[in-house]
Amino acid sequence: MSERVAIITGGAKRVGRAIVEKFAGEGFRVCFTYNSSKEDAEQLARQIDGHAVQADLLDPIAAVEKIAAEFSSRFSRLDVLVNNASLYTPADLAHTNVELSRKLMAVHVESPTLLCQKFAALLRQSNGHVVNMLDVMAEKPMPGYLAYCTSKAALANLTLGLARELAPEVTVNGIAPGVVEWPNDMPQTERDKYLQRVPLKRAGTPQDVANVIHFLCTTGNYITGQIIRLDGGRSIV
């Protein structure tokens, strides 16, 4: 069991860090990516005895080649791929342009596609698991986040397509969180307003996300092609 290996993109901070720590704590060897958070990444790699790869997913082809090269120099198997890296960029219709749309698609759609393509053989060999990080706003777009919501909706569709492409050896699922970690600049009044629309009346945590992803990659190995709404019930209101 100690030989299981996971790749987690965007793993240096926030929710990604919780996922990395969860898998490392459960006996996985972890390779994770980061973009600019070098100090956090290096500290986390030492903490878990893992490997951090600097990769800018705005350039998916170069990033995936670099991840694959560094991964293959250290590991010979892959059990879990978590496409967690994300850009949360606001823009309404008037401020949405081709450059922004392409950046969001590069991180949220093109990079997960190329990573699955690159590592499909290893994942099949280990009867592995892919989990994509979505957003409840993929189903209910929030005004002012047009391109972001569109790219996450594309990732949701990609999740379903990959589940069929990689079956029967590999499971592919998505997690669609609501608030599991507040933006640092969000006023308390806005947080309270949001929670009034959540049946459980509280925010989730990064650990909630990590626990569900770990479940999908271990005990829940008969689940594929599903998108789990981890939102305290917000999506049913």
- pLDDT tens digits for 161-178? 999 999 999 999 999 998
Tell me the percentage of the chain whose pLDDT exceeds 70: 99
Q: What is the DSSP letter of 106?
A: I
pTM above 0.85, yes or no: yes
List the chain domain ranges. 5-236
Task: Judge whether 159 and 132 are in contact, CB under 8 Å.
Answer: yes
Residue numbers annotated as active site: 148
d(CA 97, CA 90): 12
Q: 3-state DSSP call for residue 83? A: strand
Beta pairing class for 80-83 and 51-54? unpaired
Helices 111-125 and 60-72 sit at what angle, rounded to 10 degrees?
Answer: 30
How many C-beta atoms surround the C-beta of residue 35 within 10 A? 18
Q: In the predicted model, what is the mean pLDDT of residues 73-94? A: 95
Question: Domain spanning 5-236 has what CATH number?
Answer: 3.40.50.720
Task: Judge whether 81 and 7 are in contact, CB under 8 Å.
Answer: yes
Q: Which of 82-86, 199-203, 223-227 has the lowest mean pLDDT?
A: 199-203
